[in-house]
Chains A and B, each alone.
Chain A
Amino acid sequence: MRREGLAEPAQHPERLWRNPDPKPSYDVVIIGGGGHGLATAYYLARNHGLRNVAVLERGWLAGGNMARNTTIIRSNYLWDESAGIYEHSLKLWEGLKDDLDYDIQFSQRGVLNLAHSLPDVREGLRRVNANRLNGIDAEWLTPDQVKEFCPIVNLSAEIRYPVMGATLQRRGGIAKHDFVAWAYARKADELGVDMLQGCEVTGFDLQGDRVVGVRTSRGRIAAGKVALCAAGHSSVLASMVGVGLPIQSHPLQALVSELLEPILNCVVMSGAVHVYVSQAHKGELVMGAGIDPYNSYAQRGSPHVIEYQLAAALELFPVFSRVHVVRTWGGIVDVSPDASPILGLTPIENLFVNCGWGTGGFKATPGAGWVYAHTIANGAPHPLNAAFSLDRFTTGALIDEHGAAAVAH
């Protein structure tokens, strides 16, 4: 494939990371080789000088939700705590290409969140104001301004849920998810991190209330610290050491169309009618919907969820009526009670948890990795994740982001 400038493409290296055998012991073992796990490993090595680190992945690197999400990046969450961690992440995205020396195709094309009812409008305006108070770019668009920004949105008053306005975060956008994972993995590998694929954790070794190692399908591995980073499978791992998590695992489905000429210039999300869509760099429309309601680990959902999502998409974008769906799939998301992540310590000493990102973890990949690495290295939370502790469900200090996060991402 030719790139701009008609130069021959650079010689691709044979491997971006080594495929080593497990060492008997590591300072830190990260369980889960998705985006968050790889980013955590990279920042552990880069920011904290911890290089005797392994990332354990049951399947292959970034083959779970990292390969299944719709790659939307934004930071327009309501509460101060969320604004802090998501905006930190967005700022890292803005420098990630240079930091990782890899064109991750981060495209700040703008994210629209449509409002279809008076409560939507009020919630949207409130969120715009909250975002601005937190120094996050946010605008309220009238229907006419929506039309100007994204001409193919159907603004007819005759549709079932007419568009009454939208929030816009211009710095939001999308990135190429695979490249993000590969870039982090390559850099972590360069710094000495071992990526151990096909390495499933089957148990933990404890001394009293302290974790000292993991048992895996590739043998026992001693560990100074163990960091859970397994999204939808977090409950399965935590239950092996008797730690309960307030997480429910649900399927979340997405789909792509065939490749199209450029038609959609931004990300459009609608929590009310349950669809969000963008056009990937290659040309396919990428769409997602809400979660399937039932608990599942099966990485598939029900067809009627796709049907509702496409019905919503067609009403908003009549121009898509002849587009074909090429592929649908599901991932397993870890939904928390307040639609906010759980990132911090556990009742087990030297065991850390990062989960509960639910439907929107991709955008947090750099920020979560950054603060999780800090938490692991210091044995105490970073200021940006202190509020996202597991014990907030006991103290009652929830961070309710259902408005900003639940269906929309």
Chain B
Amino acid sequence: MLIPCPWCGDREDAEFKYGGAADVAYPKDPGSVDDQAWAGYLFFRPNPKGRFPERWYHAAGCRRWFNLVRDTATHEIVT
């Protein structure tokens, strides 16, 4: 699988670390969230069959993080 690093271009996925789902925000007011919300933040992530916004880290290259959208059913890079 070729991963399009925005800075280095298409590189083999062996060069990358995977960061999982994108846009997982730390709770804004951590002192006030209940157990359910903490569970959601810690353990529950989207797991769609299809388009998936996700994080990648070019560990063996430019060592920068970026987001992309990949189709988990086909491995096609959408954006």
- Could you write out 30 A-B pairs with CB less than 8 Å apart? A235-B48, A235-B49, A236-B49, A244-B44, A246-B43, A246-B45, A248-B20, A248-B45, A249-B47, A249-B72, A293-B17, A294-B13, A294-B54, A295-B54, A297-B49, A297-B72, A298-B73, A298-B75, A300-B75, A302-B1, A302-B14, A304-B14, A337-B42, A393-B42, A393-B44, A394-B35, A394-B36, A394-B38, A395-B35, A396-B35
A131 to B72, CA, bound (A): 38
B1-56 contacts to A (CB < 8 Å): 1, 12-14, 17-18, 20, 35-36, 38-40, 42-45, 47-49, 52, 54
A260 to B70, CA, bound (A): 41
Give B33 Cβ to nearest chain A Cβ, in Å: 12
Q: B75 near A295 (CB under 8 angstroms)?
A: no
Report yes or no: B54 in contact with A235, Cβ–Cβ below 8 A: no
Q: Contacts A233-B49, A248-B47, A395-B35 given: A293-B18 contact, CB under 8 Å?
A: yes
In the bound complex, CA of A216 to CA of B42 (Å): 34
Q: Report, as a range, how many residues of chain B touch the other chain.
A: 20 to 34
Report A247 CB to chain B, min CB distance, Å. 6
Q: Which residues of A contact B (CB under 8 A)?
A: 233, 235-236, 239, 244-249, 293-298, 300, 302, 304, 337, 393-396
A235 touches B18 (CB 8 A): no
The distance in angstroms between the C-alpha atoms of A236 and B13, with both chains bound, is 25
| CA distance in complex: A384, B42 (Å) | 26
B74 within 8 A of A: yes
Contacts of B14 in A (CB 8 A): 302, 304
The complex places the Cα of A43 from the Cα of B68 at a distance, in Å, of 45
Q: How far is the CA of A295 from the CA of B20 in the complex (A)?
A: 7
What's the Cα separation between A396 and B39 when bound, in Å? 8
Residues of chain B lying within 8 A (CB to CB) of residue A304: 12-14
- Find out whether the CB atom of B44 lies under 8 angstroms from the CB atom of A295: no
